[in-house]
């Protein structure tokens, strides 16, 4: 990105602050892959691989269909997905938000849409502009098959940085979105050192996670390893209960 930025500056005489966004929008028509520099986790090399096979059908449609918007509002009961306020009772205006932004590979389909009040929509946009330089890390994480991998790889890319809970919830892509606490507990059980901190900012209470150290992914993947640990814990508890029963019978 540094080289691209330098080249744009030498050609046009000014730096382009929207470069990350431009690069992401290229992906509507082109195959661009990003390779993470193993020594600098936040540094990527971009490779243009050619046109997308479906490039001619991709007309960069930026707005969801009216029927999907209507379905989304209905599904969420005409409430803001973040704060629960409604136009009827709270006089808020709802906008249709892409849970995963289009530039990060999110779709225009109903399952990627949610209503947000203008306030929460602005907060989300601010979150993304704060993390514009981490867009590539987000995109790479989002492409992974399991929530632990997605959260873990994002934290690794941003190691030592306080990552807002909302960004983690976004890559987690889970139904209980907004609360990655359980996943954090599971990553810690795998030996990861993750620190949680909270701050108040106006009406909002913000929560951050910072990765201090991590372990390589266990063989077979984190999901299987966590399931094994869970199973072992249940057995130990059952054994303990049986022992207590036996002791009680003896006395
Ligand atoms: Zn809201």
**End-to-end Cα spacing for the chain:** 73
Looking at residues 72-100, what average pLDDT do you find?
94
Residue scoring higher pLDDT (107 or 158): 158
Q: CA of 110: how far to CAs of 16, 139, 174, in Å?
A: 33, 20, 15
In whole angstroms, what is the distance from residue 130 CA to residue 26 CA?
21
Looking at residues 37-60, what average pLDDT do you find?
75
In whole angstroms, what is the distance from residue 166 CA to residue 127 CA?
8
Interval between CA 120 and ligand 1 midpoint (Å) = 5
Segment of 17-21, 160-164, 169-173 carrying the highest mean pLDDT: 160-164
In whole angstroms, what is the distance from residue 139 CA to residue 101 CA?
10
Looking at residues 102-125, what average pLDDT do you find?
87
Q: CA of 20: how far to CAs of 8, 65, 161, in Å?
A: 12, 27, 20
**Confidence check: pLDDT of 242 > 90:** no
Interval between CA 117 and ligand 1 midpoint (Å) = 4
b/e code 195-226 from CB counts within 10 Å (16+ = b): eeeeeeeeeeebbbbbbeebeeeeeeebeebb
Interaxial angle between packed helices 222-250 and 181-189, expressed in degrees from 0 to 180 and rounded to the nearest 10 = 80
**Confidence check: pLDDT of 227 > 90:** yes
The pLDDT score that the predictor gives to residue 184 is 94
Average pLDDT of the chain is: 86
Domains of the chain (ranges, CATH numbers) = 1-54 (no CATH), 65-130 (3.40.1800), 145-251 (1.10.10)
Interval between CA 81 and ligand 1 midpoint (Å) = 7
Q: With contact defined as beta carbons under 8 Å apart, do 1 and 24 qualify?
A: no
Question: pLDDT-derived band of residue 62, with 50, 70 and 90 as boundaries?
Answer: low
Minimum mean pLDDT range among 29-38, 78-87, 139-148? 29-38
DSSP summary character for residue 38: S
Interval between CA 4 and ligand 1 midpoint (Å) = 38
Residue in 208, 199, 127 with CA at minimum distance from that of residue 161: 208
DSSP summary character for residue 85: -
The pLDDT score that the predictor gives to residue 16 is 64
Interval between CA 124 and ligand 1 midpoint (Å) = 10
Interval between CA 92 and ligand 1 midpoint (Å) = 8
């Amino acid at each position: 990105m540094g080289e691209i930025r330098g080249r744009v500056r030498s050609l046009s005489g000014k730096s382009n602050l929207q470069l990350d966004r431009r690069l992401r929008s290229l992906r509507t028509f082109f195959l661009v892959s990003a390779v993470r520099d193993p020594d600098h986790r936040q540094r990527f090399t971009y490779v243009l691989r050619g046109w997308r096979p479906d490039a001619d059908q991709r007309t960069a449609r930026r707005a969801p269909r009216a029927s999907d918007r209507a379905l989304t509002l209905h599904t969420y009961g005409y409430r803001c997905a973040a704060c629960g306020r409604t136009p009827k009772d709270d006089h808020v205006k709802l906008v249709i938000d892409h849970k995963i932004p289009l530039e990060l590979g999110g779709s225009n389909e109903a399952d990627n849409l949610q209503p947000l009040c203008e306030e929460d929509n602005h907060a989300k946009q601010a979150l993304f502009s704060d993390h514009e330089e981490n867009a590539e890390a987000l995109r790479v994480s989002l492409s992974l098959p399991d929530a632990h991998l997605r959260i873990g790889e994002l934290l690794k890319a941003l190691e030592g940085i306080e990552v807002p809970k909302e960004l983690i919830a976004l890559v987690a892509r889970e139904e209980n979105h907004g609360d990655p606490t359980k996943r954090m507990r599971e990553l810690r059980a795998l030996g990861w050192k993750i620190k949680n901190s909270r701050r108040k900012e106006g009406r909002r209470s913000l929560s951050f996670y910072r990765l201090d150290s991590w372990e390589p992914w266990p063989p077979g993947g984190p999901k299987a390893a966590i399931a094994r640990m869970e199973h072992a814990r249940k057995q130990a508890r059952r054994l303990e209960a049986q022992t207590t029963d036996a002791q009680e019978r003896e006395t």
